[in-house]
Amino acid sequence: MTPAERVAELRAQIAHHNDRYYTHDAPEISDIDYDLLVREVAQLEAEHPELLDVESPTQVVGAGSLNVAFSPVVHRVPMTSLDNAMDDAELSAWGDRIVRGLNGEPARFVCELKIDGLAMSLRYEGGRFVQAATRGDGSIGEDVTANVATIEVIPDSLAGTTVPSVLEVRGEVYLPLDAFERLKAAKEAENVQRVAAGRKPEPVPVNPRNAGAGSLRQKDPSVTAGRGLAFWSYQLGEVQGGPEFTSHHETLEYLRALGFPVNPEIRMVDDLQGVVEFCRHWQEHRHTLPYEIDGAVVKVDSLAQREVLGFTSRAPRWAIAFKFPPEERTTILRDIQVSVGRTGRTTPFAVLEPVFVGGSTVGMATLHNQDQVAAKDVRPGDTVVVRKAGDVIPEVVGPVLSLRPEGLPPWEFPTICPCPLRTELVRPEGEADTRCVEPACPFQRDQRIIYFASRGAMDIEGLGESTVFQLSDAGLVADAGDIYSLTRDQLLTLDKWGDTKADNLLAAIEGSKNRPLPKVLTALGCKGLGPSASDALARAFGTLDSIMNASEADLATTDGVGPTIAASIVRWYSQPANRELIEKLRAAGVEFGRVEVSRLQQNLAGKAVVVTGSLEGYTRESAEAAIKDRGGKSPGSVSAKTFAVVVGSDPGASKVTKATDLGIPMLDLAGFEHLLATGELPPTD
């Protein structure tokens, strides 16, 4: 293919994707894939200047045709897009261009979060809101006034005494994460009912940006009003009769004074190093926010310097968007398979065409359960959106329906366990999970052993998933008790095992015999019996035998246990195979009565402290243990009863949002250590 043919092909693809993104709110590729197409065009045009065209996507603001449901609006001041930087080197190169463009004159920068929403222009005349328009192609947008008027944070009239006769405010309409989750959950629940009734499921929103854009383009403004859209202002457009400004940060203060929401995380920095630090910080902490961002926007603060730097044909030279690594990509769903867990729960998962997303190459992703697959209507052969945020397990969020091959059949959940026993799968009435109910299922057996040896249980280093599979396939272990009968000679018969590896595993197994009782209880894998309930039972009963011989009523009275877990314990112990396992562990010398009693002051007694994110010097387990050692509780979720939330790096956004909504104090590392030392919240300034 010649360069001219490739450029023509790329331009056609970009035009198609512009139309899907801007007109239909239904993109077929991720932002990063779109950016790579534009970059390839730019590279070819740089190498072959004769191919440059004024209609090229490198020369215009990318947009498709306008939606006929909305009237066109001509922007009196064009709404340009921004050039992108993908890494520190490209950001530094932009900074160097700024220095050259200003002949060495120093510049200050305003750093803003790049909100993952929809660019919007708001027009006020005589202080009254009269029009809202999308960016469109930068010159002509769509009139969405009636819908934008329903957004609660956008003022109908302007406050203050210096209100211009005409004021255009630019910003981003976005859908907060909690509103997106409500919309998504409602659509998935509706789809479950549709599927049960034999009707076709409807598309589920795949991310807040698309859901927000779709909410904004509703024909009925009352639908938009119920979606919970919000808005951040970040720029002035046309202004007639307003005050004079010399800097961008002055315009932001002016917008705030007029009653417009201005993002609180905007920062002014003195040099490019400050810009880099801002970008790095928010790349690491992007999930602490109650809305999605996909990068940072950096602008020269001085308006006079902006005049000097000017514009290219499509973007200002004085601003750039620093794009974070993508957390969503599109790829092909090759197959849907099911895994079987230690309790027999079967979980569908996606086998994907490998794709780089969220910092790693992803080849498999979760699909949660049977109802989720049906609600999302993903099918093998689909092009799907895959999301991986930080350390979160990759997830298939939905199909790209416009790319679905014709005649692709819906996926049906299997009725037979994939294990060699081929037993029937059962979905109990009223439950979301389908289970293999055959206790001898080898998949369940292996997962029970893996769980027993895991960090939160007996913490046997070296006994991970691949090792357990190897031991199981060799017939050396049939349950967790067999771990303690392994010999050096047996391990040396395994492929790729030497003396050091065998000795290290045997030492780790021996060391696990002295784990405290809560760890042993957790390791047994009784349904519902997690670390918190195990700790409460150990403190209340003292030994494993006392717990296993207690009545259901006595167990249920233990704080944090209750009737459901109590019944589960009694059922578990009534099974002969489980009693046999306990006796194997006893014979091996596993400690059944080691309860660690804290000698620390119980200054957190009666207080629930939630930990989210990573804290320097603590693991999640040690932070929670520090709370419990002082008499407190450390539940996994935030509620009105929560005393405080300890927020480390990369915390759960939903926990931070809920704590904010409920007005619950949030503590950093220093505040946490003050709380541990005193039992009280740190003083506020």
pLDDT digits (tens, 9 = 90+) for 460-480: 999 999 999 999 999 999 999
Name the pLDDT band for 264 (thresholds 50, 70, 90): very high
Looking at residue 166, its pLDDT comes to 94
| CATH (domain of 208) | 3.30.470.30
- CA angle, 654 then 327 then 411, to 5°: 90
DSSP 267: E
pLDDT digits (tens, 9 = 90+) for 214-252: 888 888 898 999 999 999 999 999 999 989 999 999 999
Residue entry with tokens 């970009």: 14
Residue 681 has pLDDT above 60, yes or no: yes
Question: Quick one: 579 and 528 in the same domain?
Answer: yes
Query: Most confidently modeled of 162-166, 475-479, 603-607, 631-635?
Result: 475-479
306 in a domain, yes or no? yes
- Domain boundary residue among 323, 341, 368? 323
pLDDT digits (tens, 9 = 90+) for 135-173: 888 888 999 999 999 999 999 999 766 789 999 999 999
What is the residue range of 218's domain? 84-323
Question: Quick one: 335 and 291 in the same domain?
Answer: no
Distances (CA, A) of 365 to 95, 202, 394, 410: 39, 22, 5, 18
Question: Quick one: 230 and 267 in the same domain?
Answer: yes
684 in a domain, yes or no? no
416 in a domain, yes or no? no
Question: Quick one: 358 and 299 in the same domain?
Answer: no
Task: For 238, list phi and psi in degrees, rounded to 5.
Answer: -75, 135
Question: Quick one: 388 and 481 in the same domain?
Answer: no
Alpha-carbon Rg for the chain in angstroms = 30
User: Among 31-35, 443-447, 557-561, where is mean pLDDT lowest?
Assistant: 31-35
What is the C-alpha separation between 424 and 326, in angstroms, rounded?
Answer: 41
Count of H helices and E strands in the chain?
24, 21
Question: Quick one: 317 and 252 in the same domain?
Answer: yes
Question: Quick one: 169 and 121 in the same domain?
Answer: yes
428 in a domain, yes or no? no
Residue 25 has pLDDT above 50, yes or no: yes
Q: Contact at 8 Å (CB) between 519 and 454?
A: no
| CATH (domain of 364) | 2.40.50.140
Three-state SS annotation for 589-620: CCCCCCCCCCCCCCCCCCCEEEEECECCCCCH
Q: Tell me the average pLDDT across 594-603.
A: 78
Query: Most confidently modeled of 160-164, 238-242, 303-307, 395-399?
Result: 303-307
Identify the CA nearest to 448 among candidates 344, 589, 532. 344
Question: Quick one: 303 and 375 in the same domain?
Answer: no
- Domain boundary residue among 276, 307, 323? 323
Mean pLDDT of all residues belonging to the chain? 89
User: Among 17-31, 378-392, 502-516, where is mean pLDDT lowest?
Assistant: 17-31
Looking at residue 333, its pLDDT comes to 96
- Domain boundary residue among 358, 385, 408? 408
What is the C-alpha separation between 155 and 128, in angstroms, rounded?
Answer: 9
519 is a catalytic site residue:
no
683 in a domain, yes or no? no
Question: Quick one: 173 and 287 in the same domain?
Answer: yes
The proportion of the chain whose per-residue pLDDT surpasses 70, expressed as a percent, equals: 96
The proportion of the chain whose per-residue pLDDT surpasses 90, expressed as a percent, equals: 57
What is the C-alpha separation between 566 and 556, in angstroms, rounded?
Answer: 5
Identify the CA nearest to 343 among candidates 257, 245, 460, 447. 447
| CATH (domain of 620) | 3.40.50.10190
Looking at residue 664, its pLDDT comes to 92
Name the pLDDT band for 621 (thresholds 50, 70, 90): confident
Name the pLDDT band for 65 (thresholds 50, 70, 90): very low
What is the C-alpha separation between 561 and 297, in angstroms, rounded?
Answer: 50
| CATH (domain of 52) | 1.10.287.610
pLDDT digits (tens, 9 = 90+) for 528-546: 898 888 988 998 899 999 9
Residue 353 has pLDDT above 50, yes or no: yes
599 in a domain, yes or no? no
Cα 148 to chain centroid distance, Å, stands at 27
What is the C-alpha separation between 7 and 1, in angstroms, rounded?
Answer: 10
95 in a domain, yes or no? yes
User: Among 1-5, 442-446, 649-653, where is mean pLDDT lowest?
Assistant: 649-653
Q: Contact at 8 Å (CB) between 327 and 293?
A: no
Question: Quick one: 364 and 315 in the same domain?
Answer: no
User: Among 63-72, 115-124, 342-351, 638-647, where is mean pLDDT lowest?
Assistant: 63-72
Q: Contact at 8 Å (CB) between 209 and 217?
A: no
What is the C-alpha separation between 37 and 167, in angstroms, rounded?
Answer: 36
Looking at residue 516, its pLDDT comes to 93
E strand segments, 247-342 = 267-269, 293-300, 319-323, 328-340
User: Among 54-63, 486-495, 552-561, 565-574, where is mean pLDDT lowest?
Assistant: 54-63
| CATH (domain of 518) | 1.10.150.20
425 in a domain, yes or no? no
Question: Quick one: 102 and 189 in the same domain?
Answer: yes
Question: Quick one: 242 and 345 in the same domain?
Answer: no
Total domains in the chain come to: 5
